């Protein structure tokens, strides 16, 4: 089929729509009376709630570290310190998401808006990476001098194996949870479920947008 034939089909389709497309005015009027937020702004309350819970947690652990500093075991202080640092980074990502929500305007050009929305959704992957990175400290915070001095060989080996495997797994996941691995079985297994699907599709879109930008730069250079 030639280009002009495609255009002719489209024009006849337009004429048909003009004659037969009906707008339900009652339902449209109902929409103008709805008390709702824009679709991006509607995700704000949950993010703000998560940030507030995160800040409360960080404040609690920070106070604990400061107050117990003279008496607590170094294992607890270091583990809690790492955990709280990673939580602060995750809060930072949520704040970044709020900024993107604030900046994204759906009446702006498609590419710029979609890039913001896609970055917003795919940044959730960073939260997952940080979450996995803190796994090993949950196996070390309860250690103390007494356990080290009075423990037996079996306990030492068990502890080293558990902490070691958690540390290896955490670093491996932190390094490998990225878009390039989206088709790997383990990735699909971790990120199975409908709540992760928009994030994966966002990363696909970011890839497409990158292609467009590359193409535009290439054309400008020519």
Partner 1 sequence: MSLERNAESFLQVIEANKGIIYKVARSYCSSELNREDLIQEIILQLWLSFHKYNETYKLTTWMYRIALNVSISFYRKESRRDAINHPLPEGILFLNEDKAGEGWRAEVDQLYLFIQQLTAIDRAIILLYLEENSHQEIASILGLTMTNVATRVSRIKQQLKQKFSIL
| Range list of H helices, 35-152 | 44-68, 74-103, 110-122, 124-133, 145-150
Binding status of residue 24 toward partner 1 by CB under 8 A: yes
* Total Cβ atoms within 10 A of residue 140: 19
> Does residue 27 touch partner 1 according to CB under 8 A?
yes
Q: Does 22 bind partner 1 (CB under 8 A)?
A: yes
Question: Nearer Cβ to partner 1, position 185 or 218?
Answer: 218
In the complex with partner 1, the residue whose CB is nearer, 25 or 185, is 25
Which residue from 137, 145, 186 is spatially nearest to 162, judged by alpha carbons? 137
Q: How far is the CB of 123 from partner 1 (least distance, A)?
A: 15
Report how far residue 60's alpha carbon sits from residue 69's, in angstroms, rounded to the nearest whole number: 14
CA dist., res. 121 & res. 124, Å (int): 6
> What are the tokens at 184?
């790997």
- Regarding 42 and contact with partner 1 (CB under 8 A), the answer is yes
Pick from 46, 53, 67, 108: which binds partner 1 (CB under 8 A)?
A: 108
Binding site for partner 1 (CB under 8 A): 1-3, 6-7, 9-10, 12-14, 16-25, 27-34, 36-39, 42, 106-114, 117, 121, 194-195, 197-198, 201-202, 205, 208-209, 212, 215-216, 219-220
């Amino acid at each position: 089929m030639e280009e002009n034939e495609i255009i002719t089909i489209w024009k006849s389709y337009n004429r048909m729509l003009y004659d037969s497309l009906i707008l339900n005015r009652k339902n449209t009027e109902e929409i103008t009376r709805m008390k709702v937020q824009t679709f991006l702004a509607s995700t704000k309350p949950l993010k703000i709630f998560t940030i507030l819970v995160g800040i409360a947690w960080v404040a609690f652990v920070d106070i604990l570290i400061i107050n117990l500093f003279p008496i607590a075991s170094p294992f607890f202080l270091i583990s809690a310190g790492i955990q709280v640092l990673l939580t602060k980074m995750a809060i930072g990502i949520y704040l970044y998401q709020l900024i993107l929500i604030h900046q994204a305007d759906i009446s702006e050009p498609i590419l710029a808006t979609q890039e913001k929305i896609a970055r917003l959704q795919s940044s959730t992957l960073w939260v997952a990476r940080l979450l996995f990175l803190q796994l090993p400290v949950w196996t070390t915070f309860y250690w103390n001098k007494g356990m080290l001095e009075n423990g037996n060989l079996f306990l030492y080996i068990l502890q080293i194996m558990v902490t070691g495997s958690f540390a290896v797994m955490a670093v491996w996941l932190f390094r490998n949870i990225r878009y390039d691995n989206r088709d790997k079985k383990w990735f699909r297994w971790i990120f199975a479920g409908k709540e992760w699907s928009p994030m994966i599709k966002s990363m696909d879109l970011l890839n497409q947008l990158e292609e467009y930008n590359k193409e535009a730069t290439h054309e400008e250079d020519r």
